[in-house]
Amino acid sequence: MGAEHATSYTADGPSNHGFRTGGARITTGAELTGTSKGLVATGKDQGPEGTAKNGIGVNGVSLGADKGGISVGVLGQSMVYKQGGKGVRGFGNIGVEGSGINGPGGVFDSNQGAQINLVPRFQTLPLKGELGDLIVIRKAVIGEDQFTFVELWLCTKAGDDKYPAYWREVQLGQPVQAK
């Protein structure tokens, strides 16, 4: 059977899948091309989902810059600003990884707050560490004001459970209250 042509297609049920492909000879499930956007997908609880049995679940590639000079492979954006919406969130052994070819592996900017937040999770240095790891250690000091103090540490020699990592404290200046 040859390929069919239609000017538009609307799926309205009764199946719970509007469009489905499958078969031993189908190597690409769908190829979509548009003059502006290749795919627009909206769901009540989630937009597009990519799952790979092996390899990369979602791959975004930019082949050129737009009129504003921006070229981004994957853009994450949350329109929920007041409830703590996040543009991108990563889960895994390493939550987010960035590698720069001609620049830094990551650039962070903020209009109203810190560019990076290292959440203090430990009260002692961990045995495991990779060269270059930064960690914030929480030191509880009970006093009149009951402040919790933190220390910033840099891993200078990798380690694991058998051979613990080496850490050096990053020396910080005197506290300054924001105005």
Residue 146: what pLDDT? 59
167 token code pair: 């850490």
For residue 12, being part of any structural domain is answered with no
What is the model's pTM? 0.68
Residue 130: what pLDDT? 95
Between CA 40 and CA 33 the distance in angstroms is 11
For residue 139, being part of any structural domain is answered with yes
- Domain hosting residue 158, numbered range: 118-172
From first to last of its 179 residues, what are the pLDDT tens digits of the chain? 456 677 777 778 788 877 788 888 888 888 888 888 888 888 888 888 888 888 888 888 888 888 888 888 888 888 777 777 788 888 888 888 888 888 888 888 888 888 898 988 778 899 999 999 999 998 776 666 656 688 999 999 999 989 999 999 999 888 888 88
Count the domains in the chain: 1
For residue 81, being part of any structural domain is answered with no
Secondary structure in 3-state letters for 86-152: CCCCCCCCCCCCCCCCCCCCCCCCCCCCCCCCCCCCECCCCCCECCCCEEEEEEECCCCCCCEEEEE
For residue 145, being part of any structural domain is answered with yes
For residue 36, being part of any structural domain is answered with no
Say if residue 48 is preceded by a cis peptide, omega within 30 of 0. no
Residue 62: what pLDDT? 86
For residue 136, being part of any structural domain is answered with yes
